[in-house]
């Protein structure tokens, strides 16, 4: 185990060196001159609390686009009183949840932190694995595992065991560095509806809690605890989720206040088990098998997360002494709402309005308990999201469609491969976005050249309508491809032990919308700008207000937090501390 770990790190470090070199030479942020001057002051006081908020799938433009539904004290506090970086993009190709969350936590790219996708094919086990599953641990709550009958997230279903831990995260997180620096005296917690939204940011040293749709509780694994703290049991005993029974997700404002108030019913929106395409969306009764799922597809999921986080903050007494504590909260509803209804739906517009109230409630509570001046807040997202093709079609933008992998005629491709290599579909072991995994044993047995096989399959994939790139990993790792931004973003996603053999990129506004049988409105995960674009906002701790349009990356966040606290940066960090925040 120890040796295995060491080998992993050695290879990662090697990759990291390559990646760091390529990023240093191309990072758009570091040479841009479009930079508004700020009156950043040197921050002298160590904050009592660092609050790291992630809004799952909050594309960078959404808070401003829907600013007419915002109130006071939430997003407006961050945007008007904090430092708002309005031009932040990820630079890795697979813009999925775990990849983004771990990049926020570690300040580096998947090639270094190792979380290359929500799911990858584990060649030792010969199966697809879920990013944070860990057979060495178990959930503390019996029956809280993913219910494969009702789980709509296909990546969650890949997990074979109920155990969860950060073991697969190969580099340190900012929260780990905080623990190291303060000799374990910092209290470190992370909370989310999604397990991966919490485990990622808690790092290896912190504690994570997430929502079980099977039991309607916040749960954890025995990686973190041997038994629940009393306050967690008490929180679960109050059964807050159940209080949504027979209620509905209703609009926060009169419909005339919304940009999309007249566009509620769209045929491309998903109607999951009676949740409907129009307001109000009924949650149903507690015995409805999709009851808890519906809570997560609405602002209710974020409200539950907020309530749990507030209780945690109070009961664990975060921010009450001079050793800085860390609380990460990942709000998941925006992602689920985007998948089901799209980024330009009344549901997304209203969800942002509700999320804004959730944030305002959180900030007011922290102000009362810790003081916002004693709290350094950062908000970002793990990825953005695309527009629904049907929405673009309504506007006359026809270059958008769903990619239906099932209905493709693959016969000509298989015939071509058979002609070349004597074998066809047996060469392919698995496809799980974005990677095609090949049968290495068969390639060895037949004495085929891996590069030749990968490139031949890539050439066939490129013939399918909607495929923009199909990139051979062997070509990538031997640097035999043109040095373009796209190749670099795929290289930053490449980890030799986990990445597949061919990376598939669809054309802009083309994506697969099949969630294991459930047809959804949209799916993120591409290297295109709508998926890489996220907000980065810092506030509290006496920071000045500023709007910065210089290009930055979310990898800058962890090293910025580290620099602000004079803590060493995470082990794989490639980001640059943001000077408007550090005051340097
Ligand atoms: Zn998502």
Digit-coded pLDDT (tens) for 236-267: 999 999 999 999 999 999 999 999 999 999 99
pLDDT tens-digit series, residues 357-414: 999 999 999 999 999 999 999 999 999 999 999 999 999 999 999 998 888 888 889 9
For the residues of 14-29, what is the DSSP string, one character each? HHHHHHHHHHHHH-GG
Which stretches of 196-266 are assigned E, i.e. beta strand? Answer: 207-212, 217-219, 248-249
pLDDT tens-digit series, residues 222-233: 999 999 999 999
In this model, does residue 12 exceed pLDDT 50? no
- Other beta carbons within 10 angstroms of residue 431's beta carbon come to 15
Sign of CA dihedral 337, 339, 343, 347: negative
Task: Name the pairing type of β-strands 281-282 and 248-249.
Answer: antiparallel
Q: What is the pLDDT of residue 16?
A: 41
- Contact indicator for 319, 376 with CB cutoff of 8 Å: no
With residue 547 as reference, give the H or E element that holds it: strand 546-548
For residue 283, which phi and psi values (nearest 5 degrees)?
-80, -20
**511 Cα–ligand 1 center, Å:** 13
Q: What are the tokens at 469?
A: 């790139």
The alpha-carbon radius of gyration of the chain (Å, integer) is 23
**92 Cα–ligand 1 center, Å:** 16
More confident residue, 134 or 42: 134
How many helices (H) does the chain have, and how many strands (E)? 21, 21
DSSP 570: P
- Read off the pTM: 0.91
Q: What are the tokens at 154?
A: 């296909």
**152 Cα–ligand 1 center, Å:** 11
Place of tokens 């290896």: 204
**339 Cα–ligand 1 center, Å:** 7
pLDDT tens-digit series, residues 192-207: 999 999 999 999 999 9
410 burial type by CB count under 10 A (0-12 exposed, 13-18 middle, 19+ buried)? middle
Q: Which residues are identified as catalytic?
A: 97
Ramachandran category for residue 144: left, alpha or beta (phi over 0 → left; psi -120 to 50 → alpha): alpha
**208 Cα–ligand 1 center, Å:** 20
pLDDT tens-digit series, residues 291-335: 999 999 999 999 999 999 999 999 999 999 999 999 999 999 999
The residues pairing with 207 across neighbouring beta strands, listed in sequence order, are 189
**132 Cα–ligand 1 center, Å:** 16
- State the virtual CA torsion across 273, 277, 283, 289 in degrees, nearest 10: 10
- Other beta carbons within 10 angstroms of residue 142's beta carbon come to 9
């Amino acid at each position: 185990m120890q040796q295995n770990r060491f080998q992993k790190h050695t290879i990662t470090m090697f990759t990291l060196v390559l990646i760091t070199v390529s990023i240093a030479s191309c990072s758009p942020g570091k040479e841009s001159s479009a930079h508004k001057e700020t009156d950043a002051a040197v921050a002298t006081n160590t904050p009592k609390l660092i609050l790291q908020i992630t809004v799952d799938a909050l594309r960078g433009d959404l808070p401003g686009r829907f600013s007419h539904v915002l109130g006071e004290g939430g997003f407006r506090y961050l945007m008007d009183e904090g430092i708002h970086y309005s031009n932040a993009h990820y630079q890795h190709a697979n813009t999925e949840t775990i990849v983004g969350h771990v990049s926020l936590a570690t300040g580096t790219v998947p090639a270094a932190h190792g979380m290359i996708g929500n799911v990858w094919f584990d060649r030792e086990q010969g199966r697809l694995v879920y990013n944070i599953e860990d057979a060495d641990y178990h959930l503390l709550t019996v029956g809280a595992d993913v219910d494969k009958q009702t789980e709509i997230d296909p990546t969650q279903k890949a997990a074979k065991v109920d155990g969860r831990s950060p073991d697969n995260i190969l580099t340190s997180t900012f929260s780990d560095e905080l623990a190291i620096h303060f000799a374990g005296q910092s209290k470190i917690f992370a909370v989310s509806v999604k397990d991966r939204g919490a485990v990622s940011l808690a790092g290896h040293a912190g504690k994570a809690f997430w929502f079980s749709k099977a039991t309607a509780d916040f749960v954890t694994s025995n990686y973190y605890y041997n038994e629940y703290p009393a306050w967690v049991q008490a929180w679960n005993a109050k059964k807050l989720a159940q209080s949504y029974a027979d209620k509905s997700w209703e609009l926060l404002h009169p419909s005339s206040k919304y940009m999309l108030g007249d566009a509620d019913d769209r045929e491309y929106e998903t109607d999951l088990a009676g949740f409907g395409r129009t307001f109000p969306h009924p949650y149903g009764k507690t015995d409805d098998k999709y009851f808890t799922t519906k809570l997560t597809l609405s602002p209710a999921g974020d409200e539950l997360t907020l309530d749990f986080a507030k209780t945690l903050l109070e009961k664990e007494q975060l921010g009450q002494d001079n050793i800085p504590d860390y609380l990460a909260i990942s709000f998941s509803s925006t992602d689920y709402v985007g998948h089901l209804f799209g980024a330009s739906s009344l549901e997304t517009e209203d969800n942002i309005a509700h999320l804004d109230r959730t944030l305002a409630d959180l900030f007011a509570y922290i102000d009362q308990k810790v003081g916002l001046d004693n709290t350094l807040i950062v908000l970002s997202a793990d990825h953005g999201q695309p527009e629904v093709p049907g929405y673009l079609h309504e506007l006359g933008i026809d270059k958008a469609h769903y990619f239906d992998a099932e209905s493709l005629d693959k016969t000509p491709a298989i015939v071509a491969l058979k002609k070349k290599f004597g074998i066809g579909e047996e060469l392919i072991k698995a496809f799980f976005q974005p990677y095609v995994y090949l049968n290495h044993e068969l390639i060895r047995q037949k004495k085929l050249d891996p590069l030749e096989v990968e490139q031949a399959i890539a050439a066939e994939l490129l013939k399918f309508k909607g495929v923009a790139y199909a990139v051979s990993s062997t070509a990538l790792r031997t640097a035999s491809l043109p040095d373009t931004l796209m190749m670099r973003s795929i290289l930053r996603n490449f980890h030799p032990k986990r990445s597949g053999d061919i990376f598939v990129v669809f054309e802009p506004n083309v994506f697969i919308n099949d969630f294991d049988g459930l047809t959804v409105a949209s799916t993120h995960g591409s290297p295109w700008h709508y998926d890489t674009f996220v907000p980065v906002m810092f506030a509290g701790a006496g920071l000045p207000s500023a709007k910065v349009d210089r290009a930055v990356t979310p990898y800058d966040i962890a090293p910025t937090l580290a620099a602000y606290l004079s803590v060493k940066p995470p082990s794989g960090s490639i980001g640059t501390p943001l000077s408007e925040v550090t005051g340097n």
